[in-house]
């Protein structure tokens, strides 16, 4: 069901609706994210590697805004022996339905607790790893500080947060260049100018990017001791924050 090509914005929409993670998006999601986010497959693989390195016994691992459970699956595979409990959360019913099917097919339903809900109002158990893989950017900016603070409070010493985001740059010329390079990446992956422009309109005020400095400052305020950029390509990056 979810292996179709993303053609959502290939024809002219009279009025481009606000982007939402509904059934239409779920059907094409793996193709959409692979062709839209530079390095997505690498980031997923490395989340598995980070889980193997940082997961601690008797703590849980969170995948927040899990979509179809790609990061959950990578974390589960590389922590199999230790058997940490995994909690995967998303507020899109369509995503959760399809994630449940995929995780069951992958034989992971016994390890993963799948929750439909808003990560901004979730109570966290002690965890050694939390992943926000391109999720925080969809959460209201005024709810971000509190979410990161509650996550930091729930993270055991030596535990981590993996925070992947599309970022903006304070310098306008830099921002324009990185945006243009991202669009070139999308064009190279078969998206037309019409698709790129309509998707951009749909995401306006839905995906709200911040600067790397904003993210680093928030993580420091919350109490993460070490913050490393471990991946970056154009205006996409992933941070490793150690508690």
Ligand X SMILES: C[S@@+](CC[C@H](N)C(=O)[O-])C[C@H]1O[C@@H](n2cnc3c(N)ncnc32)[C@H](O)[C@@H]1O
Chain residues binding ligand X by CB under 6 A are 21, 33, 65-67, 70-71, 89-92, 95, 118-120, 133-135, 138-139
Residues 6+ positions from 77 with CB-CB distance below 8 Å: 48
Inter-residue contact 64 to 131 (CB < 8 Å)? yes
Label the pairing between strands 236-242 and 226-233. antiparallel
Question: Quick one: 2 or 92, whose CB is closer to ligand X?
Answer: 92
Label the pairing between strands 85-90 and 127-133. unpaired
Phi, psi of 134, rounded to the nearest 5 degrees: 65, 40
How far apart are CB 23 and ligand X at their closest, in Å? 12
How far apart are CB 172 and ligand X at their closest, in Å? 26
How far apart are CB 188 and ligand X at their closest, in Å? 20
How far apart are CB 143 and ligand X at their closest, in Å? 8
- Please state, in angstroms and rounded to a whole number, the distance separating the CA atoms of residues 129 and 62: 6
- Please state, in angstroms and rounded to a whole number, the distance separating the CA atoms of residues 210 and 186: 21
Question: Quick one: 118 or 125, whose CB is closer to ligand X?
Answer: 118
How far apart are CB 15 and ligand X at their closest, in Å? 22
Question: Quick one: 177 or 202, whose CB is closer to ligand X?
Answer: 202
Inter-residue contact 167 to 209 (CB < 8 Å)? yes
Question: Quick one: 21 or 124, whose CB is closer to ligand X?
Answer: 21
DSSP state for residue 133 in the 8-state scheme: E
Question: Quick one: 79 or 135, whose CB is closer to ligand X?
Answer: 135
> Which residue is closest to ligand X by CB?
65
β partners of residue 160: 129, 242
């Amino acid at each position: 069901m979810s292996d179709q090509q993303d053609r959502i914005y290939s024809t002219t929409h009279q009025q481009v609706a606000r982007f939402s993670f509904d059934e239409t998006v779920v059907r094409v999601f793996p193709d959409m994210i692979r062709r839209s986010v530079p390095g997505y497959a690498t980031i997923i693989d490395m989340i598995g590697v980070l889980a193997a390195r940082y997961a601690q016994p008797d703590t849980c691992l969170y995948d927040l805004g899990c979509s179809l459970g790609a990061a959950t699956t990578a974390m589960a595979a590389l922590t199999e022996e230790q058997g940490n409990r995994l909690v995967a959360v998303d507020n899109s019913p369509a995503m959760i339905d399809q994630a449940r099917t995929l995780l069951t097919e992958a034989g992971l339903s016994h390890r993963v607790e799948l929750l439909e809900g808003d990560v901004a109002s979730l109570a966290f158990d002690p965890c050694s790893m939390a992943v926000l893989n391109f999720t925080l950017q969809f959460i209201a900016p005024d709810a971000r500080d509190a979410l990161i603070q509650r996550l930091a409070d729930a993270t055991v010493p030596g535990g981590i947060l993996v925070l992947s985001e599309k970022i903006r740059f304070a310098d306008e010329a830099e921002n324009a260049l990185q945006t243009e390079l991202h669009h070139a990446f999308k064009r190279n992956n078969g998206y037309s100018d019409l698709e790129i422009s309509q998707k951009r309109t749909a995401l306006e005020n839905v995906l709200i990017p911040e600067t790397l400095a904003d993210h680093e400052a928030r993580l420091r305020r919350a109490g993460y001791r070490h913050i490393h950029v471990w991946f970056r390509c154009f205006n996409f990056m992933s941070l490793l924050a150690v508690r």
